[in-house]
Amino acid sequence: MIFIACLSFAAGNLWAAELNIRQNQLPIALGQYLDYFEDSSGQLSIDDILVADFDWQRSTQSIPTLGMSTSAFWFYILLTGAGQDVVLSLDPPSLDRVEFYFVRNSEVVASTVVGDTILASQLTHHYRIPVVPFELASPGVDTRVYFRATSTTGIEIPITLSTMPLFSQAQQTPLALIGANWRFFYLPWDQF
């Protein structure tokens, strides 16, 4: 009986959040598919995360909200798919710093940093909200996405996986509303 309990505990730590991506299911909110870990020291690197065994917890929220903290929070998801170009977006952009790491075969193949404290000139992708495009691995190879979030205003992760055309289309409505707002409030009333 003890052996079965130990085996089920070990297996629970081995089963990570996994999502098999198909084109027709995008966009998809990733909140409930994320595993997370609180780094109370704020000192762990991606190398530490890849080699150590931490007590990851599965998010139960569509938008993981972890409150105000001086800790860093690590998030993780395993994505499988058919080698397609996708994009991660964080909306609204209320995090100080988010470091993304894309791992294949236990090796970091790409990384990028986004957030409110990152200068626009240092951003890889210049959008009004944090956007991180990447390519899913070919079939049979998984893409592990790790990201580290820190913020003085609280940790809230409204992360969505989409394609660039779908993401661009979704951004058109808010831009039109902002434009209408400017037209209504900031142009002289005698032009109406």
Whether 45 is in a domain gets the answer: yes
Amino acid symbol at 171: Q
Number of domains in the chain: 1
pLDDT single digits (tens) 60-103: 999 999 889 899 999 999 998 777 888 999 886 578 999 999 99
Whether 86 is in a domain gets the answer: yes
Phi and psi at residue 184, to the nearest 5°: -70, -45
The mean pLDDT of 6-20, rounded to a whole number, is 51
The pLDDT value recorded for residue 176 is: 59
Whether 189 is in a domain gets the answer: no
The pLDDT value recorded for residue 99 is: 95
The pLDDT value recorded for residue 100 is: 95
The mean pLDDT of 34-44, rounded to a whole number, is 95
The mean pLDDT of 152-181, rounded to a whole number, is 78
The mean pLDDT of 164-183, rounded to a whole number, is 69
Residue closest to 43 by CA, chosen among 64, 74, 65: 74
* pTM value > 0.85: no
Whether 156 is in a domain gets the answer: yes
| DSSP per position, 43-60 | ---HHHHHHS----EE--
The pLDDT value recorded for residue 17 is: 67
Residue 95 is encoded by which pair of tokens? 């995090």
Phi and psi at residue 20, to the nearest 5°: -90, 115
The CATH number of the domain where 109 resides is what? 2.60.40.2380
The pLDDT value recorded for residue 48 is: 96
Give the integer Cα–Cα distance in Å for 116 and 161: 20
| 111: pLDDT strictly greater than 50 | yes
Cα first-last separation, the chain? 79
Domain of 114? 2-184
